[in-house]
């Protein structure tokens, strides 16, 4: 549904007398399949929004190629516009207009006739539970309501693919969970959804596949599960008395499925293994067989932050 090769963009910025060229996006290759929620994850300033704005025809790439919903981005941006929807990060509604007016106008800007535009607006308002506020001015809406109007605006022309730039930034937890449901519903309706986010949990919970971007480049791509498995396996934490810890360490250190082992100061071990599910029974058997008193056992799965840390050397939370 989206295929990009070597997409590039640099900006010139002036600091004093010197002009500096900032390479915001340096050669991005992406393959997004129809019907998936594709997440674009990375810290602020990584080039996510620039890439998104290129794909949405808002800025012209300096180089590279892209095909979006079958149309060539560089040769035929007009056709791309007809096939995509785009919801900006900073909002797109006018305080003094009502949701219905905005929706009807937006549909009409896509060339849809007046009667059909009104029908679609009514349908979108119902689908996003906005009918009640439809004829109130946008400035009276809550953050979550406003965001729903904006998403409705982005899909009023029934695009094949919709780009959502940080759709949940600034929403309270409840509205956020609500928004996730709305986004999943878009996928159910057959749309391909491309979102950017800097929330790890969002990428993890919502996206079928993700690409991690840093300093203008894609540093990793895959399903959240694959990415996590690929980098660090699982961590099994074993709770033991201080006395038993030393003995357990000797027992488990040589096991071939244990990649690395850490001794905890308060007693107990952290075992780095490829797959926790198969390692746990073996660990249990070893400890039990030696007659040691096992107090607890926990399985930690690595987070996307661990993935980010491995790929970039920084934690997403710090950057």
Partner 1 sequence: MKLARDTWLIFQRQLHLLLRNPVWVFVGVFQPVMYLLLFAPLLKPALNAPTQAEAYKIFVPGLLVLLAIFGGLFQGFGLIAELRAGVIERSRVTPVSRLALLLGRSLRDVVSLLAQAVIITLLALLFDLRVFIGDLLLAYLMLALIALMTSAVSYGVALKVKSEDALAPLMNTVAQPVLLLSGILLPLAFAPGWLQGVAKWNPFSWAVDGTRALFNGDISNDRVWQGLTIITVLAAAGVYWAARQFARSVR
Instruction: Using CB under 8 A, list all residues that contact partner 1.
Output: 11, 56-60, 78, 81-82, 84-86, 88, 90-97, 101, 105-106, 108-111, 153, 157
What is the smallest separation between the CB atom of 57 and partner 1, expressed in angstroms? Answer: 6
175 vs 183: CA distance, rounded Å: 12
Closer by beta carbon to partner 1, 57 or else 197 = 57
Closer by beta carbon to partner 1, 157 or else 228 = 157
272 vs 136: CA distance, rounded Å: 56
152 vs 147: CA distance, rounded Å: 9
Closer by beta carbon to partner 1, 40 or else 308 = 40
Residue 86, token pair as written in the block: 């785009």
CB 78 within 8 A of CB 144: no
Q: What is the DSSP letter of 293?
A: -
What is the smallest separation between the CB atom of 187 and partner 1, expressed in angstroms? Answer: 21
112 vs 47: CA distance, rounded Å: 34
Q: Could you tell me how many residues make up the chain?
A: 319
What is the smallest separation between the CB atom of 59 and partner 1, expressed in angstroms? Answer: 5
Residue 114, token pair as written in the block: 């007046």
Residue 259, token pair as written in the block: 């990649």
What is the smallest separation between the CB atom of 60 and partner 1, expressed in angstroms? Answer: 5
Residue 251, token pair as written in the block: 């027992």
What is the smallest separation between the CB atom of 23 and partner 1, expressed in angstroms? Answer: 15
Closer by beta carbon to partner 1, 113 or else 246 = 113
Residue 17: φ, ψ to 5°: -90, -20
CB 128 within 8 A of CB 178: no
What is the smallest separation between the CB atom of 300 and partner 1, expressed in angstroms? Answer: 41
Closer by beta carbon to partner 1, 137 or else 286 = 137
Q: Three-class SS of residue 120? A: helix
What secondary structure does DSSP assign to 8-32, as a single string?
A: EEEEEEEETTEEEEEEEEEEEEEEE
What is the smallest separation between the CB atom of 157 and partner 1, expressed in angstroms? Answer: 8
4 vs 74: CA distance, rounded Å: 11
What is the smallest separation between the CB atom of 116 and partner 1, expressed in angstroms? Answer: 14
* Sign, Cα dihedral of 95, 98, 101, 105: positive
Closer by beta carbon to partner 1, 158 or else 255 = 158
**Pairing mode of beta strands 84-87, 161-165:** parallel
Residue 278, token pair as written in the block: 């198969």
What is the smallest separation between the CB atom of 54 and partner 1, expressed in angstroms? Answer: 9
Compute the CA torsion angle 90, 91, 94, 99 (nearest 10 deg). -170
Closer by beta carbon to partner 1, 163 or else 272 = 163
């Amino acid at each position: 549904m989206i295929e990009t090769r070597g997409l590039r963009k640099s900006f010139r910025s002036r600091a004093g007398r010197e002009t500096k060229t900032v390479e915001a996006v340096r050669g991005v290759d992406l393959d997004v399949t129809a019907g998936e929620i594709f997440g674009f994850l990375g810290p602020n300033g990584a080039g996510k929004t620039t890439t998104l704005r290129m794909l949405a025809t808002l800025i012209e790439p300096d180089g590279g190629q892209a095909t979006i919903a079958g149309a060539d981005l560089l040769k035929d941006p007009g056709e791309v516009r007809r096939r995509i929807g785009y919801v900006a990060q900073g909002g797109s509604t006018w305080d003094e207009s009502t949701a219905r007016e905005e929706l009807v106008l937006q549909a009409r800007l896509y060339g849809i006739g007046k009667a059909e535009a009104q029908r679609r607006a009514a349908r979108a308002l119902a689908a996003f539970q906005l009918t009640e506020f439809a004829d109130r001015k946008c400035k009276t809406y809550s953050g979550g309501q406003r965001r729903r109007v904006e998403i409705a605006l982005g899909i009023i022309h029934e695009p094949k693919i919709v780009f959502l730039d940080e759709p949940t930034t600034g929403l309270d937890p409840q509205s956020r969970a609500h928004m996730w449901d709305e986004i999943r519903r878009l996928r159910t309706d057959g749309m391909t959804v491309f979102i950017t986010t800097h929330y790890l949990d969002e990428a993890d919970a919502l996206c079928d596949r993700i690409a991690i971007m840093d300093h203008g480049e894609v540093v990793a791509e895959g399903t959240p599960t694959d990415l996590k498995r690929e980098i660090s396996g699982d961590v099994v934490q074993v709770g033991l008395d201080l006395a038993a810890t030393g003995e357990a360490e000797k027992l488990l250190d040589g096991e071939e499925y244990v990649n690395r082992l850490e001794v905890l100061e308060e007693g107990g071990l952290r075992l780095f293994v490829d797959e926790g599910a198969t390692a746990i029974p073996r660990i249990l058997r070893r400890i039990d067989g030696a007659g040691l008193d096992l107090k607890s056992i926990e399985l930690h799965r690595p987070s996307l932050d661990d993935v980010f840390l491995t790929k970039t050397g920084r934690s997403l939370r710090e950057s």
